[in-house]
Amino acid sequence: MSEHAFHDLIGRPEGWATLDVQAHHVSPWLVATTQRVATPTRPDGVEWSVVHRKGAVVIAPLTPEGHFVLVRQERVPVRQSLWEFPAGQIDGRAGDEAAILATAQRELQEEAGYELGAEGRWVPLGYFFTSAAFTDEHSHLVAAVGVVPHAHGAQPEETEAITAVRTFTRAELLGAIARNEIRDANTLAMVARLFACGLLTPADSLNG
């Protein structure tokens, strides 16, 4: 099987090489494999279980009033409904900015029922690995500053079960995280990046 598309984004660092790949399960969403990989400290290779997934985009929608939009979605593996920022897998090359923003626009409307307003803007915030011990899945983080309700509302896919959409003040969002009511890795990573980039501040926990 071919190398995963994410290697086009990160390149092929010196000392790393895929020696063998065996695919055990293939679906439109993931490929479960056993791989033998040479690393900088293990040139003869190490065997590892790796799950390939397409890259995704996580969107932090911010209304003109300064509130964040989250969706509540049923997550079958953990048997829970979780509050999350909208997100979805990218159609296209992993590092293609146009594909990333097109996915962000699609998921913002489909999952949350919002779109970027006339004075709104996209703010790319980098990417992160969701669980690098077993998967190459990575999520690009994008803030959508100045979102407004879409005329057609939310239109989730048939495979999605979104049970609620609501706005959170900054204080409500941070309070929900502090109380462990928000437990989604994409959302927690996004909030950390928002802090690091100055779009959230410690004062927001008090000021709303």
pLDDT, tens only, 148-198? 999 888 887 777 799 999 999 999 999 999 999 999 999 999 999 999 999
Q: How confident is the model at residue 12 (pLDDT cuts 50, 70, 90)?
A: low
CA distance 128 to 178: 22
Instruction: Taking residues 23-47, report their average pLDDT.
Output: 94
The reported pTM is 0.89
**pLDDT band with cut points at 50, 70 and 90 for residue 79:** very high
pLDDT digits (tens, 9 = 90+) for 103-142: 999 999 999 999 999 999 999 999 999 999 999 999 999 9
Q: Is the pLDDT of residue 64 over 60?
A: yes
pLDDT at 208 over 80: no
How many helices (H) and strands (E) in the chain?
5, 10
The runs of H, that is alpha helices, within 11-161 are 97-107
Q: Report which DSSP code applies to 39.
A: -
For the chain, the structural domain boundaries read 6-53, 56-207
- What is the fold, at CATH topology level, of the domain defined by 56-207? Nucleoside Triphosphate Pyrophosphohydrolase (3.90.79)
Q: What is the mean pLDDT of the chain?
A: 90
Helix (H, G, I), strand (E, B) or coil at 54: coil
